[in-house]
Amino acid sequence: MAELTYRDAVAAGIAQEMRRDDNVYFIGEDVAAAGGVFKTTGGLLETFGPRRVRDTPISEEAIVGAVMGAAMAGLRPVGEVMFSDFFATCWDIVANQVAKTRYMTNGQVTLPLVLRSANGGGLRFGAQHSQAVENWAMAIPGLKVVAPSTPADVKGLLAASIRDDDPVVFLEAKSLYATKGEVPDDEHVEPLGRAVVHGDGDDVVLIALASMVPKALEAAQRLRVEHDIGCRVVDLRSLVPLDMSTILEAVGATGRVFTVEENPRLCGWGAEISSIVAEEAFYDLDGPIVRITTPHVPLPAAETLEDEAIPSVERIVDTVVKEQ
């Protein structure tokens, strides 16, 4: 095991798959010579050369169009969209072409591609560079949506995404890039669509994704120590496929459900999970499902206002204590 940062695990995951398969190549804005604007892809150009690691013009449409064509031709491309907000500029290609081609060709054409992007707030980049857009991608049939919370999962889930025969939107929490964790040195692949449960408390389940997972874990610790409330935390890891079996098992064990979401409240992923839980596990519930979210507003750049908008450990703790 090596201790890597979340950002270094990105390069480790791509490098693992490029060594394994010559059909994997990587393109994006400033990803080669500069090592990425968030320094997530350092060393790839030096290791694999300019044929397989390429800088592109500043055009998300060109990046997504190029990886789509490459995937149709039999390669396994990885394309970086620098900020997830910029999916808005190429969403027609993602939603109407990438997501639908395998279905519309009756499986004759597969699109084994990955679209990586830095997602979410926490770094004071303002409303146009801080959005959590996982609910955008989740709403489009034909896309898989992955969002890791730890360096080990970055490497393992990115590897699985590159090997998958369907297009994957891989969302990296930019606020976690500097965090560290142990990552396997050898080949590491984590299955898509399998959530991870932390803790075995029987009072409350906190369902979280990506940057909200460390906050949920810290809140669970405080709830146990300060309020004698036993929590288990479900790290979803992916939204499509969605591991409802693990979620429903946690609901049955606790009876109280709280989602912790960075995305704006309206139509966030927690609404879908709440709907399924209400349909399939209503009689396991001991109280209403509670969603802890960012409000439905453009995310402010001011430090205090951004911290107020995005769910915090304090807000998670206060909400659970109030609802118990």
Record: fold of 196-323: Rossmann fold (3.40.50)
- Say if residue 185's pLDDT is above 90: yes
* pLDDT at res. 71: 98
- Angle of helix 244-254 versus helix 269-280 axis, rounded to 10: 60
What is each CA distance from 173 to 28, 56, 240, in whole angstroms? Answer: 18, 23, 17
Return the sign of the alpha-carbon dihedral for residues 292, 293, 297, 301: positive
- The reply to whether 196-323 shares the fold of 2-183 is yes
Q: Domain extents for the chain?
A: 2-183, 196-323
Coil, helix or strand for 143?
coil
* pLDDT at res. 324: 84
- Say if residue 234's pLDDT is above 90: yes
Percent of the chain with pLDDT over 70: 100
Please say whether the beta carbons of 242 and 275 come within 8 A.
no
- Assign domain 2-183 to its CATH superfamily: Thiamin diphosphate (ThDP)-binding fold, Pyr/PP domains (3.40.50.970)
Please say whether the beta carbons of 251 and 205 come within 8 A.
yes
- Say if residue 320's pLDDT is above 90: yes
For the segment 287-307, the average pLDDT, to the nearest whole number, is 96
For the segment 263-276, the average pLDDT, to the nearest whole number, is 97
pLDDT in tens, 13-60: 999 999 999 999 999 999 999 999 999 999 999 999 999 999 999 999
* Cα 45 → chain centroid: 25
* pLDDT at res. 206: 98
- pTM for this predicted structure: 0.97
> Taking all residues of the chain, what is their mean pLDDT, rounded to a whole number?
97
pLDDT in tens, 154-166: 999 999 999 999 9
> What is the set of active-site residues?
129
